[in-house]
Structure 1
Amino acid sequence: MRITYGPWGETIDEMADAARRAERAGAEVVWIPELHRSATVPLAALARATETAQLGTGIALAFTRSPMVQALEALDLDEISGGRFILGLGSGVQRLNEDWHNARFGKPVAHMRETVRNIRAFWAEAAGGKPIDLPGTHEPMRIRGYQRPFHQERAAIPVYLAAMGPAMTRLAGEIGDGWISHELHSPQYLADAILPGLSEGLARAGRTRGSLDVVASVLCAIDDDPAVARRWAAGTVGFYGSVRTYADFWAAHGMAAEHDAVMAAFRSGAAADDLAGAAPDHMVDAVTAAGTADDVRRRIMAFDGIADSVKLSPSTHGVDPSVTRLCQDRIIDLIATL
């Protein structure tokens, strides 16, 4: 099982330093999400700060850039990093796409299929100047008279897909080089809800299980007092608990009522980053690794034999940056022992 890490920083320099330290501790991939920063620009800085770790978008929003822009940014980052880039894509939720980005959402599974198809076609054909003519409901692509004249590090870059719902999970197994879990996750959910769908997608494409990197995300909060660690992690649990789309995820953990309570607190006017108080300890324990260093190590290793990789990250929502920084330092120290 590979140990990978999602570095945090109030500045990109701090993020790059965390990536460098995580790599030295043994992290094999560093991942950058897309929300408060873009997923791609910071990776250019991390490429210069690291030497061996792969660099992944974990995840970039698939529908807010055109497939051609996604493909070009991926080629640039692969060149900067010397062939270490992974393009991780996710659909996001409809409101985020349409209200925040004025982007088309449509039928997300079909949309994602066409997006990945176009990106890979561009990588394969743009250097040779061959015409690209791909019909589609969501992302038709027609390119004539174009040839990219620059160095291309690799003809194909790994594409990982984030998925929670069954249809998108099957698609990840069918067309992805990897699958990435949501930031909140559990070994039970991976084994019972995700792996069967991935296996179905792999079977559709005639692929073997070894062709897919299954990446389980583990949100970590480490303190000698487990109660303190749980409260640090509770802010992120509350933040995502405010999203109605994740109802099936919480129901699968037997926590539909707890999810409803977080949603009610959000509807009553609480900010998404101020919902830690609405997330009880047992809800936190179900989907994070919060506790002493030994507690967190055990939680991480519970994915061994189920996941191929784990993506560790510190608590970020509803806590002061000094807490996130402390969690990050403790996680990097823990990586060196795994």
Structure 2
Amino acid sequence: MKLGYHLGYWSAGPPEGAREAILTAEELGFDSVWTAEGYGSDAFTPLAWWGAATSRVTLGTNIVQMSARTPTATAMAAMTLDHLSGGRFVLGLGASGPQVVEGWYGQPYPKPLARTREYVDIVRKVVAREQPVSHDGATFSLPLTGDGTTGLGKPLKATVHPLRTHIPIFLAAEGPKNVALSAEICDGWLPLFFSPKSDGFYRAALESGFAARGGRPPEFEVAASVPVIVHDDVEKAADLIRPSLALYIGGMGAKTANFHHDVFARMGYEDVADKVQDLYLGGRKAEAAAAIPTRLVEDTSLIGPPAKIRDELAAWEETVVTTLLLRGDSALLRTVAGILS
């Protein structure tokens, strides 16, 4: 498996040491560097700013939220970054969830699968630049016509000639239908909370998408974000991850629509996920974190002494994952690279 570095999205401000960590990742031979966005920092700007100091590593978004931009605006940013990076850009997209889409972006959240399919299709048309872009779908219409419009819109072709007429698109997905869609229409899948014990489930979803596509493309990638904590005490290592898991299982979404909660329920932790969610939404965040068993952390992370991490890596190498995306500072990257190499 290849190694990548995931900066994630910002909390209160820019992460300290980000540029140094990116340069360390490139020095160590990491394959890729990724940024993210939630409802604070955006994904494109940090990637361009810090990525400008690199020369080899792939630069990707994990993820750009589709509701934040029209498909044409996303395609414009993708072509721009691809030019500036010399063809090193990968566009990672995701639908996010209704709390963010409707609460932050003020956009509706119906039929995310159909919306994603249209979105990717339009981005592909813009980047290919074969003809003026038009699209007549249930979600997007180019040009826009009808009541409330001037009627003056017309199909347009990007003024910029793309460096590559096919920029790789990866889809962030957790549910089986979304995972299958990534295999059907995209160049890669970006899983969150992947576990080797769920490999069969995800492998079947991917195969379903490949079948609809007419076969697996030769360079399809699966880049999974995997927390890695090197520590002689496994419990203390797990404690460093529990608060983040509690946030996603309990608070990243409404009680009736939390896709992260559903991932762990499918993994066999439905009772745990329900308890964590109830505690978190009830304001008892510390108790929610404490309710997460160590075995759940170990299922989705690599934690503990170097020898334990190295032994457990074998299970990951047998899965559909092609790249492990690590988080941390430059010192951690050096340590983990030494363990995993």
Which bin holds the TM-score, normalised by the shorter protein? 0.7 to 0.9
1:313 is displaced (CA, Å) by: 2.8
Note if 1:251 corresponds to 2:260: no
1:253 is displaced (CA, Å) by: 2.0
Corresponding position of 1:331: 333
Distance 1:208 1:186, change over 3 A: same
Corresponding position of 1:206: 214
In the aligned structure 2, how far is the partner of 1:227 from the partner of 1:308? 26
Corresponding position of 1:222: 230
Distance 1:57 1:298, change over 3 A: farther
Deviates more, 1:206-215 or 1:248-257: 206-215
Q: Is the 8 A contact 1:61 1:89 kept in 2?
A: yes
- TM-score, normalised to structure 1, is 0.88
C-alpha offsets along residues 30-62 of structure 1, whole Å, 9 cap, x if unaligned?
111212421111110232121111011011112
C-alpha offsets along residues 315-336 of structure 1, whole Å, 9 cap, x if unaligned?
xxxxxxxxx54xx622332224
Root-mean-square deviation over aligned CA pairs? 2.2
Amino acid at match of 1:186: S
Corresponding position of 2:97: 93
Q: Is the 8 A contact 1:220 1:312 kept in 2?
A: no
Corresponding position of 1:298: 311
Secondary structure of 2:68's counterpart equals coil
In the aligned structure 2, how far is the partner of 1:146 from the partner of 1:248? 41
Note if 1:44 corresponds to 2:48: yes
Corresponding position of 1:4: 4
Count of residue pairs the alignment pairs up: 321
Note if 1:187 corresponds to 2:196: yes
Secondary structure of 2:67's counterpart equals coil
1:23 is displaced (CA, Å) by: 1.4
Distance 1:38 1:270, change over 3 A: farther
For residue 75 of structure 1, the aligned residue among 71, 76, 79 is: 79
1:118 is displaced (CA, Å) by: 0.4
Corresponding position of 1:15: 18
In the aligned structure 2, how far is the partner of 1:75 from the partner of 1:58? 17
For residue 66 of structure 2, the aligned residue among 58, 62, 68 is: 62
Secondary structure of 1:303's counterpart equals helix
Note if 1:148 corresponds to 2:195: no
Note if 1:114 corresponds to 2:128: no
In the aligned structure 1, how far is the partner of 2:224 from the partner of 2:310? 14
1:152 is displaced (CA, Å) by: 2.4
In the aligned structure 2, how far is the partner of 1:333 from the partner of 1:50? 21
Distance 1:287 1:179, change over 3 A: same
Amino acid at match of 1:188: K
Q: Is the 8 A contact 1:118 1:134 kept in 2?
A: yes
Q: Is the 8 A contact 1:216 1:307 kept in 2?
A: no
1:12 is displaced (CA, Å) by: 6.0
In the aligned structure 2, how far is the partner of 1:4 from the partner of 1:310? 7
Corresponding position of 2:136: 135
1:247 is displaced (CA, Å) by: 3.6
Deviates more, 1:170-179 or 1:245-254: 245-254
Corresponding position of 1:172: 182
Quick one: percent identity of the two aligned structures? 28
- TM-score, normalised to structure 2, is 0.87
Amino acid at match of 1:192: G
Note if 1:287 corresponds to 2:289: no
Amino acid at match of 1:251: A
Structure 1 stretches of 4+ moved >4 Å: none
Deviates more, 1:101-110 or 1:208-217: 208-217
